[in-house]
Each structure stands twice: as structure tokens, then as C-alpha cells.
Amino acid sequence: MVGASRTNMKEVASRAGVAMSSVSRVLSDHPDVSPTMRARVLAAVEELGYHPNMLARSLRAGQTMSIGFVVGDISNPLLAEITLGAETALREAGYSLLLTNSENQPGRDAEHIQLLQRRRVDGLLLSLASETDADTRAALAGLEQPFVLIDRELPEQPEMWAGAALSDHAAGMAAAVHHLLELGHRRIGLILGQPMRFSRERRRGLEHAFAEQRLPPSYIVLEGHLNPEHGRQATAHLLDDAEPATAIVAGGNQLLIGVLRELERRELAPGRDVSLVTCDEIPLSELFRPPIAVIQRDNRDLGRRAAELLLGAISGAEPRSDVLKTTFVPRASCAPPAVRI
Amino acid sequence: MVGASRTNMKEVASRAGVAMSSVSRVLSDHPDVSPTMRARVLAAVEELGYHPNMLARSLRAGQTMSIGFVVGDISNPLLAEITLGAETALREAGYSLLLTNSENQPGRDAEHIQLLQRRRVDGLLLSLASETDADTRAALAGLEQPFVLIDRELPEQPEMWAGAALSDHAAGMAAAVHHLLELGHRRIGLILGQPMRFSRERRRGLEHAFAEQRLPPSYIVLEGHLNPEHGRQATAHLLDDAEPATAIVAGGNQLLIGVLRELERRELAPGRDVSLVTCDEIPLSELFRPPIAVIQRDNRDLGRRAAELLLGAISGAEPRSDVLKTTFVPRASCAPPAVRI
């Protein structure tokens, strides 16, 4: 590919009767180009039938037309959907996706960022395992390529930070909690993952809903890891509490699996013995009996937006973050609190 | 990276007092190297503290240390698990994974194979959308890099075919059908996806189990696409048949979703009104009430094996295929046929 575009550039230079460096300057929108030079080069591009943008892009020094993607766990349907959205948008723009999987270990993120930098990717999409890990932050500070975060916020903004594609978790959570409060629940348990943006925003939505209804904060929030075991243990904790939770919100599909296992073990049915809401739709939430209420978002769109922000940054756009909506879908897993006999 | 390894090669050549081309020949195991030359170069490599294999690998002409992965739908948990296994094995060997997603459209496979070839990947892993598509076969015939198939079989073996990582679908299916036959089912419906290896092998397992028990072939096999809609329609067909199926086997997790939707619509419960088996474990199969019997396989291992076969081929190993086991796990969704009133 590089060979082909150098040939193209040579042909353009020869047709225009100018140096190759002049062609390069025109095509990369260098400010130091006279109008005459610009016209000559673009005329040659047109005569030769090249698409100037495509040509310019592949001519820009150091471009590999590849984007690195650092993802926590591709086998999580949530991240697989995000990857699908990003890969489609990048491929349409002529970029290939280099995928690395950190298995949710923050230490691997820094390694992978450096690996992708050595492979000279043109930019990075990051679904980091930690927002505060020192090695990760050092690796980000050392980047020479723009990067876009997916549903993550950093304590600082390194030089090459190009924005973030974020989900409005607080709005969907507030809607879910309003629904539970209206059904009569007061003791609501929220099970969260690691202390990252998605956890903070979900907690904020919960607190906001209680405050809006001028209710005392009679909720319990349990933070941990986004895995089934934390979901199971937190559910046990919520049900064994002196004042047991009558409604549980699982802050992620991996947590939901643990919640359902613990309810099953205790022979408790969602919607009958305890109300249940989950975050992020999976076939399980719709097909489970009763169907499980869910805070939905369009994960494919999240990946696509992140890719678009990065492509914008590569073309010189200013850093920008997009916040995408979440929607609460009530289902039969939410019902008035069970009467205790 | 290329820059760094050229520097390394230069240092080795200078230390050994030989030409860079001689270093390259020694490290790439070129037959045309004298024992003295070999010893001198390897001594220099050792003195400089380089790892000869790593160095040799990055020095070999044209190596980009990247592997292309053509996948049908990364958002399918099955393929996401396979990708995870492959990515981990490749990364450990120093390779990066270039991911393309064909959205299960055979036409895209050919495009992506050519794209990855232009990007000069060192090899390809292919989970093709079709085993017979003419464009795909032409693209494979034109490859200059080795490729390994994941759970696919081609009608012919193109020159660069380096083997396949396959699942033994027939064995798991035969075990499941034996179980259903022992429970008393005779009218068994098997819902399959596209006519590819996984469908042929699953059908073979079914036929084999009936033949082993010397039973007439009173099964129905419905082929279609691996999506919920085919699962739903096939279920309706099986239940509306003059002799309705008493047991249904869904040949994939996307088909299962459609089967469950249709059963729900008819208010039929798995394990009570109709027996149900699915292929490939997802949280849904274990947590559904009743839990759904499943033909399991280790998809992460499948991805890892495919990556290892490809790495072997890149190092010059002969083409080889590995067949990995599948296991039937009976669960409460399988019960004796319901008595019709």
C-alpha cells in the first residue's frame, strides 16, 4: 500500500512539474503553500483520477491506517458490541483495527498501549481496566497518537487525549430508581463494579432519584468487581442485611449472573420475592421468566461514535466528548415489595 | 520496531565482522550458510544479548508481526470467546491481531481477505461466512500467507491452507440425541444454520445416534441461518407438523433465542411441554428455568489452537488440523415426552 501511494505521489509530482514534497504539502493542507502551487497539484490529481482525500491520507508521513483498540474483555457481549461498532466505522474509513485484550488487568493496559505505539498505529480507542493506574497514565502521557476513551474519564487530560464516547448512565439509573420508588421500594440495593465512571454515574443517578423524591438515603451501594462472584456475594449481603433490600439493581451483565445464582440458591423469584433491574440488555434479560427490567444503551453506537471522534482527531479536529443516552425499560421483574409473613 | 531490528542486525553484523545479508541468512536458517559463518553470527548474537529467535523472526523479510482475523460477527459470544483465545496466544508470541468483521456476509469475506493481504499480515485466521462462496475461494487461492480455518472446511485446499481448528460437533450431538431417545423421544427436531461444517457434523451426529439404536429416521432437520428468526420459524414448523416434535435441538445460541421466543408465545415450557437442547453454553442456558441442556465446547481453546496452528505454519510446519471435543451436559430442559391430552 505504501509503495502504491508513493508511486501515486510521484506521478502527481511529475504531472504537475513540482517536487514530491510540494505535492505532500498541498495534500496535507500545509499552510505554507502558494495558491498557484495548490492549483497545479490539485489539477494533476484530478487529471490522474486520484481521490485527493484518500491520496492525502495515505501520503501523510507515518500513517499506517491502523487503529489500536485496548479492550478489557472481548468475550463480554457489551465490549463485543462496542468493538463491532468501532470496527465497522473504522473499516468504512479505510482503517484496520488492531485488537488487544487486557483481561481486565490494569497492568496489561500500559503494556498494550506501548505495544500499539511501537506498531505506530494512527490512534487508539481505549476501554481501560482502570482510570487511575499509574503505569497506564504514564503510558498515555507518552503517546504521540491521539486516543479516545470509551466510557472512561481520566483524572487529568494527557496531551494526546482526543475526547471520549460516554454513556449517560445516571439518567437511566435515575429512571429505574424512580420506577422502584413508585412501586413502594425504599430499601434498594445497587451492586456496582470498579470505581470508574460507569459506577460513579450509576450511583449518582440513584442518589439523585432519592433526593428528587425528598426521601432519606435508604439505599445500599456495594462496589466490587464486574464479575459474577461479586454479584452473588453482594446479593447475599443485601438479603442478609438487618433491613434487607426489597429491590436489587445489578450494574452490569456479569453481576446479573451472580445475582440470579444467589436468588436461585435461596429459591427467591425476581418480581415475586425481590424486584430486579439490570444494566445492558443481553438475551437473558428479555427471555428470563419473568423478563428482567433493564437500563439499555446502544453499545454498537457507542463504539461507532468513539471511532468517529478518533477519526476526527486524526484529521485535526479539537478534542470532543459525546454523551449517549441510556433508557430504562420496566419489565415484570419489578413489582411492589413482597409482603413479609 | 522495524527500525530497531535493523539496528540490531547491523550491530550483529558489525560484531561478527560479516555482511548484514549473512546475518539474515543465518537467522532465517537459510541452507546456504557455512558452519563457520553460522558460529560467528550466533556468537555475536549471544555476546550482544539478543534472543536469536525473536531477532530472526523480526528480521525475516516482509514480516509485520500481525495476523489478520476474519470473523463473522464479533458480537456473538461464541466468536468473541474464540477471538479472545486467539488474541491471547498471538500476543504471547509477539503478534498483533488485525480484526475484520464480515457481519456474516460472504461477499465481505473476500474483501477482507484482500484487505489483510494488502496490509501484509503474516497469516490469517478465518471464520468464514461461507465455505463455497466463489469470491472467497478466489481470494484464498490468491493468498501468499498461510491461513488457518476455524471450524470450517473448504471443498478444496488452496496452496496456503495451513490447517483448521475444528470442533467435534458430531460426538456431542450424538450424545444429546442418545439421551433424548432414552427419555422416549422419537420425533426430534434439529434446527441448523447455514450448510457449513458445523451443520453437516451436527446432522451426522443425529443420524448416527438413530442408526446406532436401530431406529427409523423419525427426525426433522431444518437448515437456515444462524439467527433468532430462523430459530423461531423452525420451532413453529416443528410444533405445527402433522407429527409434532417432542424434543428440539437448537444448533446455536442465536437459534436458541428464537426457539425460546416461540415457546413463550405458545406458553410452552421447556422440560414440561417440549424437551430442549442447545449448542454452546451462554449464561442463558445455565440460568434459564429450567436450566437448558447444552452441547458444550471450549471456544477459547478453539481460538488458541487455531492461533497455534497458524504460528506453526509461519515457522514452516506442515499443515495440520486439530479436532477438539464437545460434551453434552443433560439438564432439566430434557424430560420424557409430555403426554398429549
SS3 B291: coil
Show which of residues 218-247 on chain A sit within 8 Å of chain B, judged by CB atoms: none
Instruction: State mean pLDDT over B207-211.
Output: 98
Do the beta carbons of residue A295 and residue A278 sit within 8 Å? Answer: yes
Alpha-carbon distance of A331 to A14, in angstroms, equals 68
* Contact: B75, A300; criterion CB under 8 Å: yes
* Contact: B66, A288; criterion CB under 8 Å: no
Show which of residues 162-221 on chain B sit within 8 Å of chain A, judged by CB atoms: none
Alpha-carbon distance of B218 to B188, in angstroms, equals 7
Residue B177 clears pLDDT 70, i.e. is over it:
yes
Do the beta carbons of residue A175 and residue A206 sit within 8 Å? Answer: no
* Contact: A76, B74; criterion CB under 8 Å: no
**Helix or strand holding residue B107 (H, E):** helix B106-118
Alpha-carbon distance of B172 to A61, in angstroms, equals 54
* Contact: A1, B282; criterion CB under 8 Å: no
For an interface test with A, the pick among B124, B127, B284 (most A C-beta atoms closer than 10 Å) comes out as: B284
Longest CA–CA span in chain A (Å) reads 92
- Give the closest residue to B335 by CA, choosing from B288, B277, B281: B277
pLDDT in tens, A126-139: 999 999 999 999 99
Alpha-carbon distance of B102 to B208, in angstroms, equals 34
What pLDDT is attached to residue A3?
33
DSSP class per residue in B51-97: -HHHHHHHHSTT--SEEEEEES-TTSHHHHHHHHHHHHHHHHTT-EE
**Cα nearest neighbour of A120 on chain B:** B1
* Contact: A83, B76; criterion CB under 8 Å: no
What pLDDT is attached to residue A162?
97
Alpha-carbon distance of B115 to B102, in angstroms, equals 12
Ramachandran quadrant class, A336 (left: phi over 0; alpha: psi -120 to 50; beta: rest): beta
* Contact: A119, B100; criterion CB under 8 Å: no
* Chain B residues touching residue A87 (CB < 8 angstroms): 74, 99-101
* Chain A residues touching residue B76 (CB < 8 angstroms): 80
For the ranges A7-21, A44-58, B33-47, B99-113, the lowest mean pLDDT is seen at A44-58
- Give the closest residue to B5 by CA, choosing from B23, B30, B32: B23
Do the beta carbons of residue A124 and residue A314 sit within 8 Å? Answer: no
Instruction: State mean pLDDT over A318-338.
Output: 96
SS3 B333: coil
Residue A237 clears pLDDT 80, i.e. is over it:
yes
Q: Give me the sign of the Cα torsion angle B329, B330, B333, B339.
A: positive
* Contact: B287, A74; criterion CB under 8 Å: no
* Contact: A98, B98; criterion CB under 8 Å: yes
All three cell numbers of B169, joined, read 460437533
- Give the closest residue to A295 by CA, choosing from A10, A33, A29, A78: A78
* Chain B residues touching residue A289 (CB < 8 angstroms): 264, 289
Beta bridge partners, B321, equal B164
* Chain B residues touching residue A65 (CB < 8 angstroms): 119
Instruction: State mean pLDDT over B281-288.
Output: 87
Alpha-carbon distance of A148 to A177, in angstroms, equals 31
Residue A7 clears pLDDT 70, i.e. is over it:
no
Residue B185 clears pLDDT 90, i.e. is over it:
yes
Scanning the structure block, which residue is given the C-alpha cell 555476546? B47
* Contact: A118, B260; criterion CB under 8 Å: no
* Chain B residues touching residue A74 (CB < 8 angstroms): 74, 80, 83-84, 87
Question: Which of B97, B253, B257 is the closest to A98 by Cβ?
Answer: B97
* Contact: B84, A73; criterion CB under 8 Å: yes
Residue A79 clears pLDDT 70, i.e. is over it:
yes
* Chain A residues touching residue B99 (CB < 8 angstroms): 69, 83, 87, 96-99
* Contact: B1, A77; criterion CB under 8 Å: no
Residue A341 clears pLDDT 60, i.e. is over it:
no
Query: Which runs of E-coded beta strand occur in A20-109?
Result: 66-71, 96-101
- Give the closest residue to A194 by CA, choosing from A245, A102, A131, A236: A131
* Contact: A261, B287; criterion CB under 8 Å: yes
pLDDT in tens, B110-146: 999 998 988 889 999 999 999 999 999 999 999 999 9
- Give the closest residue to A219 by CA, choosing from A255, A241, A186, A178: A186
DSSP state of B222: E
Residue A115 clears pLDDT 90, i.e. is over it:
no
Per cent of chain B over pLDDT 90 is 68
* Contact: A74, B84; criterion CB under 8 Å: yes
SS3 B157: coil
* Chain B residues touching residue A97 (CB < 8 angstroms): 98-100
For an interface test with B, the pick among A75, A260, A285 (most B C-beta atoms closer than 10 Å) comes out as: A75
Q: How sure is the predictor about B15, in pLDDT bands with cuts at 50, 70 and 90?
A: confident
Please state, in angstroms and as integers, the Cα–Cα distance from residue A38 to each residue in A12, A27, A29, following that order: 12, 9, 9
Beta strand pairing call for A96-101 and B96-101: antiparallel
**Cα nearest neighbour of A98 on chain B:** B98
What pLDDT is attached to residue A21?
75
Show which of residues 61-80 on chain B sit within 8 Å of chain A, judged by CB atoms: 65-66, 69, 73-77, 80
Do the beta carbons of residue A293 and residue A333 sit within 8 Å? Answer: yes
* Chain A residues touching residue B289 (CB < 8 angstroms): 264, 289
Instruction: State mean pLDDT over A211-229.
Output: 96
- Answer whether B114 touches A (CB < 8 Å): no
**Cα nearest neighbour of B66 on chain A:** A98
What pLDDT is attached to residue A34?
83
* A257/chain B closest Cα distance in angstroms: 7
Which residues make Cβ contacts (< 8 Å) with residue A297, sequence separation at least 6?
A167, A172, A280, A324, A325, A326, A327
Residue B4 clears pLDDT 70, i.e. is over it:
no
* Contact: A84, B75; criterion CB under 8 Å: yes
Do the beta carbons of residue A271 and residue B245 sit within 8 Å? Answer: no
